[in-house]
Amino acid sequence: MDKKTLPLVLLLVVVIVFYGQILQFLGLVEPAPEQPATGTEVTTQTEPSTQTTQPIEPAQGAVEIERAPDRTAIVDEQADSLPPDTIIINTSKYTVTLSSFGGGPVSIKLKEYFYRNGDPIEMLPGATSVTPEATFAGGTFSTSRVRFNSDLQPGTYDATRDTVEVTYTYSNGQGGQIIRTLRFYPDQYHFDLSVGLVDTRSLGFERNYRLIWNTPLGVTEPQAGPDYQAMQAVTMQGGSRESLDDFEDGRLNQSREGTTAWVGVRSKYFTAVLIPQREVNSVFASGIEEEISAPEGTIKARHITAGMEMAFAPTEMLSDTIRVYVGPMDYLLMADYDVGMEDMMDIGTAPFVGWIIKPFAIGIMWLLPRLYDFLPNYGLVIILFALMVKIITLPLSMKSFKSMQAMKELQPKIEELKVKHKKNPQAMNQEMMRLYKKHGVSPISGCLPMLPQMPLFIAMFRVFQATILLRDAPFIWFISDLSRGATGFTDPYIILVVIMIVTQFLYQKLTMPSTQQNKMIGYMMPLFFGFIFYKFAAGLVLYWICFSLFSLLDYVLFKRPKNVEVKTA
């Protein structure tokens, strides 16, 4: 690196690290609002709800931001506190608390996933009613509003070895009954919910009812913004993944018709999914979107519920079974359900190109945990993975390097042609093509290694942004979570981005032909990538750093005289 180049590199680094402060100093952006000392304040842009609800408190150990009341749950004054006849069931995957007021779960705490303070993840944060709930007669009757009788005595039950089943029964005193049976399995993230009706006429129910996941998922990550951004309702209809996220004026009220395999809600790493065991043709989602203040600034918070319309023929009896998955968005685990539930992660579902990306994504998610088995540090796993990719693409890299070196050698002759045929572009192009042919050079062959790598890189981007494998996975020093990116230009995680920019700059400086245009590209492209990457998962940035460093080793290896076989004279 010469004396003229070094100051420019240093200037780039300074601009990147202090970019936010520079913009504020120039008056181009407003400073972030100061956070209240006693907590954060919610600023809601939607109209206040007229429905009476209890405020949803953050789950213990979650990000400390104030959350708006759940405006979608149907609650009753009697549900202000849990009744004394609570049942607790322990499986190997979670601890579920059941209430007879509504006949179902009011708390599901995962046993293998935790908030950063060590508390278990709560999948029903601040629940004000049993979830999922069933509503009948156009929503005028909800199972969350009535008390059920349980066939089990209050207490704690062990389901770590055998299935535990509990049945809740509501009677209207005139022969009508609603029966909710829940089955919990030792080593599964799902439970089965059976909804039965006896004497539907006495109950006043006909034609259809709704089953709703009525408690929005909560924030589980230190950075609330990306977690809220990932929150949405999703359904699989006709073999196609469909998002229910058409917010208008801060409110979501959307439905879709079609043969439904499942419907659910998701956050960045966790999900709750309703999987019907019979034909369902209608799903819906409700929610609110509002601006709130969080430690990283003003963000948009989403509180979303979703469900399905369950039609039934006029009959005295009804019995439905719904499988309810509540847990991590683990691609391979969700794929085992064989209903396309893994598409909840939105990896390889893009039109036209998804089928190319998906095999790479599946391969990455299959390989990473197996590498982790004998190298128990995901940072080291990513480094090893980058090395493997570089070895696989080594032949293409060799061809690319030779072509780029040839282009560098030919550059003086190309500049001569540009001057000679300045007023005749057609003649210049013809002479340049003769020059390329004479020396066996293709101007596009330097891009060849990128072609097979692009699907892989896109797959890695999608995987690293969504996979729970990197969640809370430490590497070294200050990098304690490979799933998160920098929160700003003063976050220590920005150091990874600066290193990535420097390595990319060095590689382009050493390998690209020295033209004025290439100089601009060499300066701007690394900076451009830095702006894109700085909020991405640290694991993805680490991969790109390692791949760039291994590419520099390529340069050292291929630079040896015996590898440069192009003659330009």
pLDDT band of 328, cuts 50, 70, 90: very high
C-alpha 72/C-alpha 286 separation (Å) is 7
pLDDT over 60 at 439, yes or no: yes
pLDDT, tens digit, 9 for 90 and up, residues 7-43:
444 445 444 444 444 444 444 444 443 333 333 333 3
**Which residue ranges make up each domain of the chain?**
77-346, 371-485+536-563
Architecture, CATH, for domain 77-346: Distorted Sandwich (2.70)
For residue 27, count other CB atoms closer than 10 A to its CB.
Answer: 7
- Residue 225: C-alpha distances to residues 31, 127, 222 (Å): 18, 22, 9
pLDDT band of 472, cuts 50, 70, 90: confident
Map 402-457 to HEC letters.
HHHHHHHHHHHHHHHHHHHCCCCHHHHHHHHHHHHHHCCCCCCHHHCCHHHHHHHH
Q: For the purposes of burial, counting CB atoms within 10 Å of the CB of 236, is it exposed (0-12), middle (13-18) or buried (19 or more)?
A: buried
Average pLDDT over residues 196-220: 89
DSSP 99-123: ETBTTEEEEEEEEEEE-TTSPEEES
pLDDT, tens digit, 9 for 90 and up, residues 361-381:
888 888 998 999 988 999 999
Distance of CA 552 to the CA centre of its chain: 32
pLDDT over 60 at 269, yes or no: yes
Which segment of 323-332, 397-406, 427-436 scores lowest on mean pLDDT? 397-406
Q: For the purposes of burial, counting CB atoms within 10 Å of the CB of 245, is it exposed (0-12), middle (13-18) or buried (19 or more)?
A: middle
Nearest to 104 by CA among 52, 170, 60, 198: 170
What is the pTM for the complete model shown?
0.76
Amino acid letter, residue 270: F
- What share of the chain in percent tops pLDDT 70? 71
C-alpha 72/C-alpha 253 separation (Å) is 10
pLDDT band of 119, cuts 50, 70, 90: very high
Q: What is the mean pLDDT of the chain?
A: 77
pLDDT, tens digit, 9 for 90 and up, residues 496-550:
888 888 887 887 777 665 555 555 665 677 777 777 777 788 888 888 888 888 8
